């Protein structure tokens, strides 16, 4: 069984280099176009999926809605697939975080798996809730599925599957509306 992890389309905060995290941002015009192009690509490549699951954040839901409409496959919003909550850092650029929160950023950079930004969550907390949500999906279906989610979720899942330290997650960087195929059975806990 496969999961096709899809990062949502582009938002204005992506363009502006702002940290989105749990902030609920909509797709911009380019993001809507990317979601439509993604739908076309998935159909052309004949991906064999029976259901689409989406993070509840608007940027993911909008991507899932377009994909659902274009493929005639239902989508379902699933709690737990949200982007990491980066607390007080959301809305800032990474440079602004380094300048405004130098000690917290340094601690987080050295151990982001367990260190939380102010009023945020750690990557370990995020991966725990994501794995719980994905395991609920695994109990619901035995067929391939699309999971519309977020960059940090996809990078962390790849770290988890490859036993890569979370500090090296950027080697799995994903672009907007990219597709990452994984063996869903490896996520079963």
Residue 88's CB: how many other CB atoms inside 10 A? 14
**CB of 83 within 8 A of CB of 15?**
no
88 noted as active-site residue:
no
- pLDDT on residue 2: 95
Query: What pLDDT does 140 receive?
Result: 93
Residue 120, classed as helix, strand or coil, is coil
Length of the chain: 189
- Note the pLDDT tens digit of each residue in 78-99: 999 999 999 999 999 999 999 9
pLDDT band with cut points at 50, 70 and 90 for residue 188: confident
State residue 167's pLDDT score: 85
- pLDDT, position 71: 94
Place of tokens 């363009």: 15
Of these residues, 8, 82, 121, 150, which one is catalytic?
Answer: 8
Helix, strand and coil percent figures for the chain, each rounded to 5: 50, 15, 35
User: Which residues, listed in sequence order, are joined to residue 52 by a DSSP beta bridge?
Assistant: 75, 146
> How confident is the model over 53-82, as pLDDT tens digits?
999 999 999 999 999 999 999 999 999 999
Whole-number mean pLDDT of the chain?
Answer: 95
**Residues in Cβ contact with 1 at an 8 Å cutoff, skipping those fewer than 6 apart:** 138, 142, 143, 144, 183, 184, 185
User: What is the C-alpha to C-alpha distance for residues 189 and 186, in angstroms, rounded to an integer?
Assistant: 8
CATH number for region 2-187: 3.40.50.1240
Confirm whether 8 is a catalytic residue: yes
Percent of the chain with pLDDT over 90: 91
Residues contributing to the annotated binding site: 7-14, 59
Q: What are the tens digits of pLDDT across the range 132-173?
A: 999 999 999 999 999 999 999 999 999 999 999 988 889 999
pLDDT for residue 96: 98
Rounded distance between C-alpha atoms, residue 183 and residue 189, angstroms: 13
Single pTM value for the model: 0.95
Please identify which of the residues 30, 65, 82, 83 carries the catalytic annotation.
83
Q: What's the pLDDT score for residue 189?
A: 78
Q: What does the pLDDT average to over 47-57?
A: 95
Mean pLDDT confidence for 28-41 = 96
Radius of gyration of the chain (CA): 16
Q: What residue numbers does the annotated binding site for substrate cover?
A: 7-14, 59
pLDDT value at position 125?
97
What's the CA gap between 86 and 117, in Å, rounded? 6
Structure confidence by residue, pLDDT tens digits, 104-127: 999 999 998 999 999 999 999 999
Q: Residue 93: its pLDDT value, please?
A: 97
């Amino acid at each position: 069984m496969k999961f096709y992890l899809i990062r949502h389309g582009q938002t204005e905060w992506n363009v502006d280099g702002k940290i989105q995290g749990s902030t609920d941002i909509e797709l911009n015009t380019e993001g809507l176009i990317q979601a439509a192009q993604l739908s076309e690509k998935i159909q052309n490549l004949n991906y064999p999926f029976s259901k689409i699951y989406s993070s509840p954040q608007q940027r993911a839901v909008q991507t899932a809605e377009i994909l659902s409409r274009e493929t005639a496959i239902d989508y379902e919003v699933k709690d737990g697939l949200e982007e990491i909550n980066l607390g007080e850092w959301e809305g800032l650029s990474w440079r602004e975080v380094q300048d405004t929160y130098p000690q917290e950023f340094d601690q987080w950079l050295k151990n982001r798996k367990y260190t939380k930004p102010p009023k945020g969550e750690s990557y370990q907390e995020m991966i725990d809730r994501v794995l719980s949500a994905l395991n609920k999906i695994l109990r619901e279906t035995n067929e391939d599925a699309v999971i519309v989610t977020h960059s940090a979720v996809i990078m962390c899942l790849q770290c988890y599957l490859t036993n890569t330290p979370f500090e090296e997650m950027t080697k799995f960087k994903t672009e907007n509306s990219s597709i990452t195929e994984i063996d869903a059975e490896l996520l079963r806990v």
